[in-house]
């Protein structure tokens, strides 16, 4: 018997561990619910619900393939080796198959499992190109995104992107039962706006390719429009693979990798950013522990005013676009990408609050909160990261509002008290907790420690 250990790969197709395990013999699946670990990792309640819903779909799909799915709860990663030992004994497990993950705690977990003498075999299917494999000529990590993308693109063009199929039925003569009553032991918030399952994710992707991707470059920055793919949560939990996404794009737009000025390429570029941050984590695992990528940033003196932070969290800064974005996050569990940059810049440069406070808050609320991408995005905005925006680039929330929500449609949706304002006045601060010009000067002073030489 072979055991497939599911992690952030809640799908049956293009799943290396599942596919190759099924070639070797009868398979049982397992998923570990780890409430204590989730709490330490700031797993959002909406994510817990999304996991639960996707486990239900996965269990049904595996049952159709003759594969039972075990749901095991342990407090945290440290308890997994002992539980696996018992499962190995009870189910006569020959080999444990799993897909590798780039985060430091997850790597330490897998090392502990191997150290316990368990036969764990790891596969690659989280990234399109294995995390840590895209190297400079000197064998190091690319520190400039464009250079990484060029090297990544060159390799991808020579890579077979055909997704692995679903495995064949393992026990066609047997009717494997599955439970619809799967429940994870964690605080939950409804994720119903993101229908669960790989089929739902693929349907969403194909609708985006048919209807929206050719306008993506423009619409992606307009928060009042539904102009993005909405796939980030599915990618986070591996309900769909990044490789499948690019494969589907190229099936519809064969020249997309060569048309770098196209809207289609703009979307592929977002996949490459995801890969970049995951590759980066392999080379700099301290990023998982909240360390600044740029060591000069250790010298920034943060104000960290708790009242200002609370106002930011609750959408009460007095800047309409910032407040609307934070209320969108709090109400829906998602935030438009342009607004993630705007709110992060506001927190770190207008309020001079440590980016780690904002990163944690996002992870506690986002359905797509992912350590690598969340960390990378926050350090980019705070000018402390790898290939981050220059420290002297400080988003003006008024201009951002005028440019990307000119008629105030998005602001009015979430900041009801501004509904009576006209399209000009709605962009200007009302009872703001900080004044932009002075905040900018303060930020330039505090961030001057990032000057080189």
- pLDDT for residue 179: 75
Catalytic pick from 8, 337, 364, 442? 337
Going by the annotation, the residues of the binding site for FAD are: 216, 228-232, 267, 270-277, 368-370
- pLDDT for residue 170: 78
Between CA 370 and CA 442 the distance in angstroms is 31
Taking the CA atoms of 398, 399, 403 and 407 in sequence, report the sign of the dihedral they define: positive
CB burial of residue 199 (10 Å; 0-12, 13-18, 19+): middle
Q: Which CATH superfamily is domain 295-450 in?
A: DNA Cyclobutane Dipyrimidine Photolyase, subunit A, domain 3 (1.10.579.10)
Is 248 an active-site residue? no
**Alpha carbon 367 to chain centroid, angstroms:** 9
Residue span(s) of the chain under CATH 1.25.40.80 come to: 128-162+197-283
Compute the residue count for the chain. Answer: 453
- pLDDT for residue 429: 97
CB burial of residue 225 (10 Å; 0-12, 13-18, 19+): middle
Cα torsion at 253, 254, 259, 260 (round to 10°)? Answer: 80
Residue span(s) of the chain under CATH 1.10.579.10 come to: 295-450
pTM of the entire structure?
0.96
Q: Are 354 and 371 in contact (CB under 8 A)?
A: no
Q: Where are the alpha helices (DSSP H) in 294-433?
A: 306-314, 320-332, 337-345, 355-365, 371-381, 397-404, 409-414
Catalytic pick from 5, 334, 355, 380? 355
Q: HEC states along 16-34?
A: HHHHHHHHHCCEEEEEEEC
Q: Are 54 and 10 in contact (CB under 8 A)?
A: yes
Is 108 an active-site residue? no
- pLDDT for residue 174: 64
Is 302 an active-site residue? yes
128-162+197-283 is a CATH 1.25.40.80 domain: yes
Catalytic pick from 5, 334, 357, 378? 378
Phi, psi of 383 (to 5 degrees): 65, 25
Catalytic pick from 273, 330, 364, 442? 273
Residue-wise pLDDT for 243-300, tens only, equals 999 999 999 999 999 988 899 999 999 999 999 999 999 999 999 999 999 999 999 9
Q: Where are the alpha helices (DSSP H) in 5-136?
A: 16-24, 35-40, 45-64, 80-91, 104-115
Q: Based on C-alpha coordinates, what's the Rg of the chain?
A: 23
- pLDDT for residue 173: 59
Catalytic pick from 52, 61, 270, 359? 270
Catalytic pick from 284, 302, 305, 442? 302
- Spatial CA neighbour of 362 closest among 409, 413, 309: 309
Is 435 an active-site residue? no
Is 337 an active-site residue? yes
Q: Are 28 and 4 in contact (CB under 8 A)?
A: yes
> Residue 7, Cβ neighbours under 10 Å: how many?
18
Query: Angle at CA 199, nearest 5°, toward 336 and 209?
Result: 55
Residue-wise pLDDT for 302-324, tens only, equals 999 999 999 999 999 999 999 99
Going by the annotation, the residues of the binding site are: 216, 228-232, 267, 270-277, 368-370
Between CA 31 and CA 24 the distance in angstroms is 20
- pLDDT for residue 172: 67
- Spatial CA neighbour of 129 closest among 287, 264, 242: 242
94 Cβ partners below 8 Å, 6+ apart? Answer: 1, 2, 24, 25, 119
**Cα end-to-end span (Å), the chain:** 61
Between CA 437 and CA 346 the distance in angstroms is 12
Under-70 pLDDT residues of the chain: 172-174, 453
Strands 95-99 and 120-123: parallel
- pLDDT for residue 178: 76
Is 101 an active-site residue? no
Q: Which CATH class is domain 2-126?
A: alpha beta
């Amino acid at each position: 018997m072979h055991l497939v250990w599911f992690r952030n790969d809640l799908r049956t197709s293009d799943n290396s561990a599942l596919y190759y395990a099924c070639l070797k013999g009868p398979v049982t699946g397992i998923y570990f619910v780890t409430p204590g670990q989730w709490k330490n990792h700031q797993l959002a309640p909406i994510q817990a619900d999304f996991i639960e819903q996707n486990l239900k779909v996965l269990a049904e799909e595996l049952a159709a393939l003759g594969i039972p799915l075990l749901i095991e709860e342990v407090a945290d990663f440290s308890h997994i080796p002992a539980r696996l030992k018992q499962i190995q004994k009870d189910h006569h497990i020959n080999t444990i198959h799993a897909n590798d993950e780039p985060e430091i705690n997850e790597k330490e977990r897998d090392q502990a499992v191997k150290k316990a003498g368990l036969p764990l075999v790891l596969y690659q299917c989280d990234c399109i190109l294995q995390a840590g494999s895209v190297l400079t000529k000197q064998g190091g990590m690319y520190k400039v995104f464009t250079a990484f993308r060029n090297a990544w693109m060159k390799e991808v063009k020579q890579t077979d992107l055909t997704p692995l199929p679903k495995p064949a039925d393992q026990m066609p003569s047997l009717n494997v039962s599955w439970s619809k009553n799967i429940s994870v032991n964690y605080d939950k918030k409804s994720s119903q706006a993101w229908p669960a399952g790989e089929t739902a994710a693929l349907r969403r992707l194909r609708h985006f390719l048919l209807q929206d991707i050719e306008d993506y470059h423009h619409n992606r920055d307009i928060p009042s429009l539904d102009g993005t793919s909405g796939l980030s949560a599915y990618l986070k939990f591996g309900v769909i693979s990044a490789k499948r996404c690019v494969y589907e794009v190229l099936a519809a737009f064969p020249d997309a990798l060569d048309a770098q000025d196209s809207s289609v390429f703009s979307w592929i570029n977002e996949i490459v950013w995801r890969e970049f941050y995951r590759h980066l984590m392999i080379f700099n695992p301290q990023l998982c522990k909240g360390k600044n990528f740029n060591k000069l940033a250790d010298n920034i003196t943060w104000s960290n005013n708790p009242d200002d932070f609370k106002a930011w969290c609750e959408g009460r800064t007095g800047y309409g676009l910032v407040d609307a974005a934070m209320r969108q996050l709090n109400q829906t569990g998602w935030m438009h990408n342009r607004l993630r940059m705007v709110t992060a810049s506001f927190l770190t440069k207008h309020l001079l609050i440590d980016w780690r406070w904002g990163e944690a808050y996002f992870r506690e609320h986002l359905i797509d909160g992912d350590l690598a991408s969340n960390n990378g995005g926050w350090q980019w905005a705070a000018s402390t990261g790898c290939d981050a925006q220059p420290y002297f680039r400080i988003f003006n929330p008024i201009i951002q509002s005028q440019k990307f929500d000119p008629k105030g449609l998005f602001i009015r949706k979430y900041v009801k008290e501004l509904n009576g304002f006209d399209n000009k006045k709605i962009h200007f601060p009302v009872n703001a907790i900080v004044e932009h010009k002075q905040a900018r000067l303060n930020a330039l002073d505090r961030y001057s420690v990032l000057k080189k030489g």
